[in-house]
Amino acid sequence: MKRINIKCPYCGSRALLRPASVVYERTLPGEEVYVCARFPVCNAYVSAHRDSHLPMGTLADQPLRQKRRQAHIALSQLWERGLMTRKEAYRWLQVQLSLPESEAHIGHFSAYRCDQVIDLCGRFAGTGRRAA
């Protein structure tokens, strides 16, 4: 496995790949997270992909993780309510935010960008329109 060099955006410490049980009470075998070396003093972490061990986004503190969860919930409501498919929702979001596909991942978004997602999804869901 290739070593990945990730720095914590909050304190500048290195992030370490650890079992998910370091931060979560219930985990499945093989689940991992990148966690700030100063954890729990610095409460920044991000989940890792099971197969590649690559981070699923950027390290985030508790407020940013909460914003990202809210943004994911807002986006998922678009396909759960039948307004568009999951694939259409992610493509729609990419277009709405004028982002290349490689950057259109909520796990990389700031709190500001998450607020944009929540607002866009709420406005779209309120119209009942089908995706173009």
The total domain count for the chain is: 2
Q: Are residues 74 and 112 in the same domain?
A: yes
- Per-position DSSP letters for 86-122, written without gaps between them: HHHHHHHHHHHTT--GGG--GGG--HHHHHHHHHHHH
- Residue 127 has what pLDDT? 57
* Structural domain range at position 54: 1-59
Q: How far apart are CA 18 and CA 36, in angstroms?
A: 10
Check: pTM over 0.85? Answer yes or no.
yes
Tokens linked to 86: 């999951």
Last residue of a domain, one of 27, 59, 91: 59
Q: Is 88 exposed, middle or buried (0-12, 13-18, 19+ CB in 10 A)?
A: middle
Assess contact for 74 and 61: CB atoms under 8 A: no
pLDDT top residue among 22 and 127:
22
Asked if residue 132 belongs to a domain, the reply is no
Q: What pLDDT digit, counting tens, does each position of 9-64 carry?
A: 999 999 999 999 999 988 788 899 999 999 999 999 999 999 999 999 999 999 99
Q: Are residues 42 and 98 in the same domain?
A: no
Within 10 Å of residue 8's Cβ, how many Cβ atoms?
A: 21
**Residue at token pair 């700031």:** 110
